């Protein structure tokens, strides 16, 4: 990578030598004994550990099925690592171990938030009031009779104090929460000095970012119990949605500073709009969300927008202690819609139970983070949705995503992102994976917001499964464009790659992608919409007796109309600047009184009816799109009843013009009517003259 490695140890020396002894970490003893046995080396093992005076705990804990084997494992092993994913109840497992050992206990944490959570659980499940819980940290240094919670930073100072000898011999059980932080020098040097009988580490991720993960096991021992995510019966599923961003800047990881691309990333308006659109869509469904980034300015940027409409809370290292405390109270009570925070605060120790959406908006590659984040999201009672933003146009950021994606695929194939059926079921326990490239008729596709959906029968298990292919440009109203998409793609069917995994007949993953559908971009959509307007609207034959048509009538009362407003249709039509009356129509659309009268359309010739307001009169203006016809203007007294009557008359006039021609109408024209003839010899000059003549009549 060419990155600076100053201060990074090349080797970790774990052995200490004195004149008479060789000292090794406690956790290595198991491997050492196995080595002696394998090589038939004689040895004597003298266990000089001593238990502290026993204390009585009265727990009110009912372990869940996946937690019981963990407790059994600790009955056979006096030290080691317990691996349990977020949501599995590591705190409850730790308290059960403490109660079972009947020894005064020390719980070591690295953040105050974790300490507060342990204190709450101790009071709830062990019945020990908070005032009787010992505390080391935040200016306090008191030992509890039964249990003490210590911040690792403060514990290091405490063992250097005058009371150090008493402290180091006060505990028979030590629990190290989030023990993957053990490789930090201050952490490992502190723990090794305690004379404890039992020593256990709790973690969801027993490894660190680089190659020093083995240090955990050297200090604490091997993994003695591991809870698999699929063992947690009430773990909800999780849906991963990957968004491709358009962020693109030159960046060379070997020569450029990462902070350069980081600053661009957090301030890029297009990328942030993509994120915010997704967040808003989920919040509008009533869901609670967490946005995880790694930069304070990114938090501020996203918060600036979201706070205007939603209960948005930010949490970062810049918050004071009192601010953090207040915010966590709000979060625990559920009085928020979206939390914007850093991975440090969300990944470890956050005990939020109602998170339904997680947005990973800052690139990273570490699997440990991913496990933590996904586990936090899975604490919701419903299937959580996790958004990941892929910056595929920047090679270095794409590599980071590919590492995350490798973990996603691994989770998918192992089922660890998804809830599993009861393992005690007598039904078929086989796992079936279906991976195929299929052809789906375009006519059978269902267009949704940001996706294309379809159903496919999987013949091997006779099951119809729904799939979705992400396409951020797609909308339900594009259903009417299917024939035009077929022509553009030059096929009536699209090729789609599908992957589905079933466990006991229950789908645990179903994903789909399509190169064909990815071709449908904004440029293609604009092109087929123009074709639709040209053939589906301009070329329509008028139906019924009405001549002044509203938007629904123009679109034949479609269930999912392509255009949601008259302005959308007009704007699309006016993208073609070559129509004869483009300048006039733009001017009239800007002056149109849409709050009084919605824009009206006439099919033949295709034209528009606008309403302009003068000081004393309304002016109804009929202008064609692309035929050499004069502008017709009807003037009416400025009151709504008179306007309604005039519109009925105008509808009748246009009907007569359609059947008998304009000349006959002009020969019998009534009061309150005038027309403006266009000068086509010079487009710009003709428009200016037309505009002046019109404005003279807008009295």
Per-residue pLDDT, 540: 63
Question: Where residue 425 falls among pLDDT bands split at 50, 70, 90?
Answer: very low
Q: Residue range 252-273: average pLDDT?
A: 90
Report pLDDT for 213: 56
Q: What is the pLDDT of residue 352?
A: 66
The pLDDT of residue 1 is above 70: no
Strongest mean pLDDT among 8-22, 128-142, 357-371: 128-142
The sheet with strand 506-513 has its strands ordered as: 431-441, 493-503, 506-513
270: left (phi over 0), alpha (psi -120 to 50) or beta: alpha
Specify the CATH superfamily of domain 68-227.
P-loop containing nucleotide triphosphate hydrolases (3.40.50.300)
User: What per-residue confidence (pLDDT) applies to 267?
Assistant: 95
pLDDT at 422: 35
pLDDT confidence of 128, banded at 50, 70, 90? very high
SS3 (DSSP) at 649 = helix
Q: Reply yes or no on whether the pLDDT at 92 is more than 70.
A: yes
Task: Indicate if the pLDDT at residue 627 is higher than 60.
Answer: yes
- Greatest pairwise CA separation for the chain in angstroms: 124
Nearest one of 258, 253, 266 to 362, comparing CA atoms = 266
Asked if residues 70 and 225 have their Cβ atoms less than 8 Å apart, the reply is yes
Q: Which residue has the higher pLDDT, 413 or 452?
A: 452
- Band the pLDDT of 282: cuts 50, 70, 90: very high
Q: In this predicted model, which residue has the larger pLDDT, 338 or 418?
A: 338
What is the average pLDDT across 372-391? Answer: 72
Q: Render pLDDT for 148-157 as a digit per residue (tens, 0 to 9).
A: 999 988 888 8
The pLDDT of residue 64 is: 82
Q: Regarding predicted confidence, which is higher, 16 or 360?
A: 360
Assigned CATH for 239-414: 3.40.50.300
512, pLDDT greater than 70 = yes
How high is the pLDDT of residue 418?
Answer: 38
> Which range has the worst mean pLDDT, 68-82, 186-200, 225-239?
225-239
pLDDT band at 412 (very low <50, low <70, confident <90, very high): low
Percent of the chain at pLDDT > 70 equals 84
Arithmetic mean of pLDDT over the chain: 83
For the ranges 4-8, 327-331, 501-505, 674-678, the lowest mean pLDDT is seen at 4-8
- pLDDT interval class at 423 (50, 70, 90): very low
CB 463 within 8 A of CB 479: no
Scored b (16 or more CB within 10 A) or e, 108-126 reads: bbbbbbbbbbbbebbeebb
pLDDT(293) > 80: yes
How many whole angstroms from its chain centre is CA 132?
Answer: 42
Instruction: Tell me what pLDDT residue 420 has.
Output: 32
The CA distance from 137 to 115, in Å, is 10
pLDDT of residue 539: 58
Region of poorest pLDDT, from 8-12, 167-171, 311-315: 8-12
Residue 416: band (very low, low, confident or very high) from pLDDT cuts 50, 70, 90: very low
* 557-574 per-position pLDDT tens digit: 555 677 778 888 888 888
- Give the range among 109-123, 481-495, 582-596 with minimum mean pLDDT: 109-123
Which of the four pLDDT bands, split at 50, 70 and 90, describes residue 209? Answer: very low
pLDDT at 536: 61
Of 219-228, 362-371, 470-479, which range is least confident?
A: 362-371
Greater confidence (195 vs 503) lies with 195
Range from 255-259, 276-280, 684-688 carrying the lowest mean pLDDT? 255-259
Taking 70 as the threshold, does the pLDDT of residue 589 lie above it? yes
- What pLDDT sits at residue 237? 55
| pLDDT, average across residues 84-99 | 87
- pLDDT tens digits, residue range 221-244? 888 988 876 666 555 456 788 899
* pLDDT at 185 exceeding the cut of 70: no
Give strand pairing partners of 618: 613, 636
CB 607 within 8 A of CB 622: yes
Question: 626: closest CA among 573, 667, 691?
Answer: 573
């Amino acid at each position: 990578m060419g990155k600076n490695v100053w201060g990074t140890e090349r080797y970790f020396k774990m052995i200490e030598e004195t004149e008479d002894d060789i000292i090794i970490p406690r956790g290595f003893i198991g491997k050492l004994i196995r080595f002696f046995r394998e090589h038939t080396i004689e040895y004597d093992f003298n266990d000089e550990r001593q238990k502290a005076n026993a204390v009585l705990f009265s727990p009110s804990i009912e372990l869940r099925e996946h937690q019981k084997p963990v407790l059994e494992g600790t009955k056979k092993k006096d030290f080691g690592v317990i691996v349990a994913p977020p949501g599995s109840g590591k705190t409850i497992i730790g308290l059960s171990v403490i109660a079972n050992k009947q020894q005064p206990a020390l719980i070591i944490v690295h953040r105050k938030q974790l300490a507060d959570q342990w204190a709450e659980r101790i009071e709830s499940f062990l019945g020990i009031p908070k005032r009787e819980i010992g505390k080391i940290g935040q200016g306090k240094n008191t030992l509890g009779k039964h249990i003490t919670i210590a911040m690792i930073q403060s514990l290091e100072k405490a063992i250097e104090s005058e009371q150090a000898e008493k402290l180091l011999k006060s505990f028979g059980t030590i629990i190290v929460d989030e023990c993957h932080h053990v490789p930090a020098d201050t952490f490992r040097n502190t723990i090794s000095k305690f004379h404890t009988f039992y020593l256990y580490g709790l973690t969801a991720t027993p490894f660190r970012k680089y190659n020093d993960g083995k240090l955990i096991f050297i200090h604490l021992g091997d993994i003695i119990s591991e809870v698999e995510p699929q063992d947690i019966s009430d773990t909800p599923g999780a849906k991963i949605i990957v968004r491709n961003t358009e962020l693109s800047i030159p960046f060379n990881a070997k020569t450029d500073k990462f902070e350069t691309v980081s600053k661009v990333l957090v301030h890029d308006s297009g990328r942030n709009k993509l994120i915010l659109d997704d967040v808003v869509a989920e919040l509008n469904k009533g869901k609670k969300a967490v946005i995880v980034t790694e930069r304070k300015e990114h938090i501020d940027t996203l918060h600036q927008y979201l706070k205007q409409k939603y209960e948005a809370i930010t949490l970062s290292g810049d918050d004071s202690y009192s601010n953090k405390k207040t915010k966590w109270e709000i979060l625990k009570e559920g009085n928020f819609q979206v939390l914007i925070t850093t991975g440090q605060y969300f990944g470890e120790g956050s005990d939020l139970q109602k998170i339904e959406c997680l947005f990973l908006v800052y690139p990273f590659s570490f699997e440990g983070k991913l496990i933590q984040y996904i586990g936090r999201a899975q604490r919701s009672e419903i299937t959580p949705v996790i958004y990941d933003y892929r910056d595929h146009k920047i090679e270095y950021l794409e590599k980071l995503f590919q590492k995350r994606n490798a973990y996603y695929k691994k989770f998918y194939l192992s089922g660890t992102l998804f809830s599993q059926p009861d393992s005690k079921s007598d039904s078929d326990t086989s796992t079936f994976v279906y991976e195929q490239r299929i052809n789906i008729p375009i006519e059978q596709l269902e267009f949704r917001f940001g996706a294309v959906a379809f159903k496919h029968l999987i013949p091997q298990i006779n099951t119809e499964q729904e799939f979705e292919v992400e396409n951020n440009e797609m909308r339900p109203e594009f259903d009417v464009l299917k024939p035009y998409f077929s022509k553009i793609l030059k096929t009536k069917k699209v090729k789609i790659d599908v992957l589905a995994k079933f466990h006991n007949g229950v789908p645990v993953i179903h994903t789909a992608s399509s190169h064909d559908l990815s071709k449908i971009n904004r440029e293609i959509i604009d092109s087929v919409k123009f074709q639709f307007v040209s053939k589906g609207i301009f070329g329509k034959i008028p139906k019924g007796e009405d001549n002044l048509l509203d938007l629904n009538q123009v679109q034949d009362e479609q269930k999912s109309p392509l255009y949601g407003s008259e302005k959308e249709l007009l704007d699309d039509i006016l993208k073609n600047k070559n129509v004869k009356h483009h300048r006039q129509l733009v001017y009239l659309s800007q002056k149109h009184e849409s709050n009084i009268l919605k824009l009206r359309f006439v099919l033949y010739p295709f034209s528009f009816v606008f309403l302009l307001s003068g000081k004393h009169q309304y002016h109804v203006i009929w202008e064609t799109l692309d035929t050499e016809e004069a502008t017709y203007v009807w003037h009416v007294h400025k009151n709504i009843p008179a306007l309604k009557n005039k519109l009925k008359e105008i509808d009748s006039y246009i009907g007569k013009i359609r059947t008998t021609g304009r000349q006959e109408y002009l020969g019998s024209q009534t009061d309150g009517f005038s027309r403006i003839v266009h000068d086509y010899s010079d487009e710009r000059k003709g428009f200016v003259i037309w505009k002046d003549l019109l404005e003279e009549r807008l009295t």
